[in-house]
Structure 1
Amino acid sequence: MAGKKSEFDKVFSAWDILVIAFGAMIGWGWVVSSGDWITRGGVIGAAIGFALGGVMVFFVGLTYAELTAAMPQCGGEHVFSYKAMGPIGSYICTWAIVLGYVSVVCFEACALPTIITYIYPKFLQGYLYTVAGFDIYASWLAVAIIVAIFITYINIKGAKTAALLQTILTVVIGGVGILLIVASVVTGDASNLDGQMFNGDSTGEIFKTILRVAVTTPFFFIGFDVIPQAAEEINVPLKKIGKIMILSIVLAVLFYALIIIGVGYVMNSSEVAASMDGSGLVTADAMAKAFNSSIMSKVLIVGGMCGIVTSWNSFLIGGSRAMYSMAESYMIPKTFAKLHKKHKTPVNALYLIGFLSVLAPLAGRKMLVWIVDAGNFGCCLAYCMVSLSFLILRKKAPDMKRPYKVKHYKIVGALAVLMSGFMVVMYIVPNSGSALVWQEWAMAGGWSLLGVVFFIICKLKYKEKFASHVDVLIDDEIVDEEENREEEVKAAIELVMAEEDETKFVQPIAFNYNLPVNIAFGTGKVAQTGELTKPYGKKALIVTGRSSAKKSGLYDKVNDSLKAAGLETALFDKVAQNPLTTTAMEGAEFAKTNGCDVVVAIGGGSIMDCAKAIAFLALNDGDINDYIFGRKVSDTALPLVLIPTTCGTGSEGNGFAVLTNPENGDKKSLRCNAIVAKVSIVDPDCMKTMPKHVLAAVGFDALCHCMEAYTSKISQPFTDALALYAIDLIAHNLVDVYKGRGTQESWEKITLASTIGGMVINTAGVTLAHGMEHPASGLKNIVHGKGLAALTPVIIEASYKGDHFKFAKIARIFGGITADDLAPKIRTLLKNLDLDVKLSDLGIEEKDIPWMAENCMKVSAASIANNPVVFTQEEIAEIYKKAM
């Protein structure tokens, strides 16, 4: 279908979106309003009232769940209402909910310093002025503005950063709430409920008081709707998004109800009344009584402060995404659709809302109470319009794919419209207990007028673009895969339990396998270098880097061993990271001048690759680039002995030598059997001097070799078996070795896996990750393993459809089940290795992408062809962009 690719990064996990929604709904109300709820409906009556309110919101939530899974696009309500009601309906719905989000953000900026005064009454210093009866102090204003700037910065920094903050604070809220609930059970008494279980003398009166609580509760559940706003950033199966949304509502209902019961179980009616007349923070006083400590009341207030920030954070996420979606449709100025180049957050929308939250405290808390009430009205209006959209789209688009499909949609939709419509009416009808006062109507009217102004201006400015909408591409295969997820999981389990799938090879098995390399593997083997090198020459050229082999003492050990075996030696120590063709040519001239007839390399992949090229050029005249690009061929080179000191490149196990041409940035490998080592001395003890950051990079490189060889189109049974074995070794040992928990056996397994990685790519080749990384490191001289870390997860997401079977098999090694589990598992591994990087972190800029995509087609044609899905130059450029 026609559409565009999402520009957002999919960074939100299931846990992230759960805490974003739950944290938004909890907020601060459970600390300041519990006494009011109990006074209105009684302890049990108020709890029942919250349950009824939760049922109201539950039906609205069901409509959101179905629509979000069906249309997982940034802006949520904007898209739902656009599809159902057209541009005008969409404009009204989205503009209304933006008011709701912005009002809460501004209100929380004032709520936080106000709460601090409960803990430290002397906090208020430096009286400035009074607004609507609310005194403004310099200390109060300073805290509000500083925190507003901080929360805005966190959200600009990245959606995942904001989610991390949300997780920490939500855990604190939950922990404090659970403390109160558990303490109330232990220290409370059922007798405290006497006289306050319900409010009213008759069944009719009790029902009315319960209903009085119930009609106010939906306003405390506003927040679950943030999930659809950020739908494009969620890395969760579509069906699961709907379930998480419903779960967040259920958890919020339980939290509120249990807090109310906990307070009533600890405090009797007279104590609740006294608390209401005193601080008004009945929940905090209940905490103090439950623990018999005034300090615990402050602990609970701190938990409530965390609730202020979680609501603030969630609604800033929601508001900025809603504005982004309107700007994408040219309904408000297009500048609000700008995403941060690095963090992929709607930066201008965040700047605007952040700026308003900085200004808001200047207006005082009373003014903002009016604003937030007007905003709640906007949210409820949007809920009603989304519920109507749910019913309209069931009629208008019956064939729309709905990964989360609500049963009995007519009943659910009708109840959702009635419940949300009832909430809207409660704001309009005088004396309802929730009706807006004239100041609030003025603010709602002012916002509506501003919306009309934007509507007219943007319609005149953008003309036919105004109210245009382009769907974000949702791959039909992905939707189909999620609809059939249960069947895929069953199939995956059967693959684990049963023998190899016999239908995998649709053609008869036929291949050639040849790898003439002699691996001398084992701890202490490096001491045998002289004896193992002696059959191949009389004078050895030792190739290494400038310092590491010398500092570690390995150079002296190898040099002494060679001399003890009767060989002369000469040293070439000019090899650097990403070795240059010019360095190889210089080394070859040095070998010829010094009469060397065997080459011994000590170091990582760069040094071994350069040594191979030196050995090759020592016997072959001409420009090495001619041999690299196949314009000339040769099968002769000096004998090679390789001693790897990093467990990653696997160069000791193949006939590749990757070199960079400094004249044009081409990074490509010289390939021939003549540069396969006569003997590779692989000693795990030689790896232990690596710095941690080097270990992480080379270890991930080794994993990529194995994964790419396994999924390559030219793989074969021998390489498959070796690659899977090595992947398992890396998956279960690399993190332990990196974290310093590795045993000698762990080091041996990682080293072995690295060598196997080099062996399998000699036959099966590499695929797109290496193909796309070479232009990047050829251009910017970045660390190869870091370049792979930035690219690999994105490439897996683009490529796994080409071979579900193999990608799923790798995923299961890392604890997943199906093919689409692999990229998230690799991202988790990279975080554990401190390799969670983007290309932009490595110095790559968007202006570099066209050159890299073109260069990739030039130098990595074989890698592109080997990939399970073969991409065009334009598609490769898009993958680079996603990895930024």
Structure 2
Amino acid sequence: MRAFSYHIPTQIEFGNGAIARLPEFVKALGGSRVLVVGDPGVQRVGLIDRVQAILTGASIFNAVYADVESDPATRSVDEGTVHGKANGCDLVVGIGGGSALDTAKAIGLMLVNDGNIKDYVGIGKVPRAGAPVIAVPTTAGTGSELTIWSVLSDKVAKAKISVGSALNCPAIALLDPELTLSLPPQITAATGMDALTHALESYVNTATQPISEAMSDQAMTLIARSLSKAVADGSDVEARGDMLLASTIAAMAFNSTRLGLVHAFAMPLGAKFGIPHGLVNAIMLPEVMRFNHLANPRKFARIAEIFGEKTAGLSVEEAAALSVSAIEKLKLDVGITAKLSNFGVTEGRFDEIVDEAMLSGNVPVNPRQPTNDDMKALLRAELV
């Protein structure tokens, strides 16, 4: 067995109604002036008001920055940092989906570190720990509540940029399934497929190791049991809890392993065509699995079993092939039928998409190494 390293600095707190414990965690981290970071949607449904009421009720000062956009621009980090510094904030509470949490984490860094967030693009470039961040996810997909990454958008270059550092991990991930109950079915489906892609790509890639494998397996088991239920009945708090845990556990896996071709494609397709991250993952996942499954048939056979395929009496290769149809069935079950052409992707743009995708650090760990022509074929298969 090859050597590996596993590290996760984030404390995880899970439970229905756990948001009520927020003041306890703020005080434990030494915070006295809190910047609450979210997006207009979270503010519109009253969750930011709820957080403020909890903090104010415990006599904890709080200010709000709620202008985080989808696929957040570096502008959001700059504005939030200015607002946090102007209010003397020493702790950040991020509440929302991946965009809000990624922005909150980056603001936490910039409350302490000099320069601009763009100075720290890449991995391991952040010099000092930022202000503590408590991450409160309201979707079950990105895993941003404990990953090392903040994925931001350079709107001028129409490109995604990533800041990766162990210093970017939140101090606490506060997981309250009740906060996800109002998530619409289509977002539940897309974010759930995002969590699945995280777990699956981490499970089969060449950087996987026993700890991440166990977590990926558990995350997929929870998703197989509860994604369809959560989409069909958003009030099913048990299914919501399963999905929230699955998202976080999948992030614990890929945080140390990276991912694969689906996420390599997701960066340019998201930046250039505005395809929501979970949805682009859902679109590309089955075709990438079809490309990869014979490179690691034992793992793909296990995926087929997790998602209920009957594999008894089949060769491992035959069982592996069933994993693709299992995920295609799941996509249809949760109502995802979109294709790349629905978002303006054309074959004439394939070169620029593939050129950018091939630069991703997720390509070298993919179980099968693609050529540029392979990558174009994968796009073509999901075009219409």
Q: TM-score range by the shorter chain?
A: over 0.9
Cα distance change on mapping 1:630 and 1:813 into 2, 3 Å? closer
Residue 540 (structure 1) aligns with: 34
Amino acid aligned to 2:110: L
The 5-angstrom pairing of residues 51-62 of structure 1 reads none
Match of 1:659 in 2: 152
Displacement of 1:509: 4.6
1:802 lines up with 2:301 in the alignment: no
Task: Decide whether aligned partners of structure 1 residues 709 and 645 sit closer, same or farther in structure 2, where only a CA change above 3 A counts.
Answer: same
Task: Report the Cα distance in structure 2 between the residues aligned to 1:521 and 1:747, rounded to whole angstroms.
Answer: 12
**232, 257, 261: which is aligned to 1:764?**
257
1:789 is matched with 282
Q: Who is 1:599 aligned against?
A: 92
TM-aligned CA deviation for residue 742 of structure 1:
6.5
Listed as ranges, the matches of 1:123-202 within 5 Å are none
Q: TM-score, normalised by structure 2?
A: 0.93
Please say which of residues 692-701 and 580-589 is displaced more in the overlay. Answer: 580-589
Residue by residue over 1:80-130, the C-alpha shift from the partner in whole angstroms, topping out at 9 and shown as x without a partner, is: xxxxxxxxxxxxxxxxxxxxxxxxxxxxxxxxxxxxxxxxxxxxxxxxxxx
Q: Matches of 2:273 and 2:45 in 1, distance apart?
A: 29
Unaligned stretches of 5+ in structure 1?
1-507
TM-score, normalised by the number of residues in structure 1 = 0.41
Contact 2:182 2:234 in 1 (8 A): no
User: What CA deviation, in whole Å up to 9, does each residue of 1:282-318 have, x standing for no partner?
Assistant: xxxxxxxxxxxxxxxxxxxxxxxxxxxxxxxxxxxxx
Distance 1:551-1:511 versus aligned 2 partners, 3 A rule: same
Q: Which residue of 2 aligns with 1:832?
A: 333
The 5 Å alignment of 1:409-808 reads 508-536=1-29, 537-546=31-40, 548-630=41-123, 632-740=125-233, 743-808=236-301
Matched, 1:821 2:314: no
Of 856, 860, 871, 2:357 maps to: 856
Unaligned runs of 5+ in 2: 312-318
Task: Show structure 1 runs of 4+ deviating over 4 A.
Answer: none
Counterparts of 1:823 and 1:853, CA distance in 2: 23
Matches within 5 A, 1:284-323: none
Distance 1:824 1:719 in 2: 25
Q: CA deviation at 1:618?
A: 2.1
Q: Of the two, which has the highest radius of gyration?
A: 1
> How far apart are residue 593 of structure 1 and its match?
2.1
User: Does structure 2 retain, via aligned residues, the 8 Å contact 1:709–1:764?
Assistant: yes
CA deviations 1:576-632 (Å, max 9, x no partner) are 111112221222222222211111011011110111111112222234334213594
| Aligned-partner Cα distance in 2 for 1:757–1:595 | 35
Does the 8 Å CA contact 1:827/1:836 hold for their aligned counterparts? no
More strand per residue: 1 or 2? 2
| 2:42 partner SS | helix
* Structure number having the greater helix percentage: 1
Partners of 2:234 and 2:57 lie apart in 1 by 37
Deviation at 1:669, TM superposition (A): 2.1
What do the CA deviations read for 1:217-251 (whole angstroms, capped 9, x no partner)? xxxxxxxxxxxxxxxxxxxxxxxxxxxxxxxxxxx
Q: 1:631 to 1:656 in 2, by over 3 A?
A: closer
CA RMSD of aligned residues (A): 1.6
What is aligned with 1:113? none
Letter of the aligned partner of 1:780 in structure 2? F
1:759-779 CA distance string (max 9 Å, x none): 111112111111111110111
Q: Deviations for 1:454-485, whole angstroms, at most 9, x for unmatched residues?
A: xxxxxxxxxxxxxxxxxxxxxxxxxxxxxxxx
Q: How many residues align?
A: 374
Q: Is the partner of 2:275 in helix, strand or coil?
A: coil
Q: Supply the AA of the counterpart residue of 2:129.
A: T
Please tell me whether the aligned partners of residues 181 and 235 of structure 2 are also in contact (alpha carbons under 8 angstroms).
Answer: no
Q: How many Å separate the matches in 1 of 2:287 and 2:303?
A: 16
Work out whether 1:845 is the aligned partner of 2:338.
no
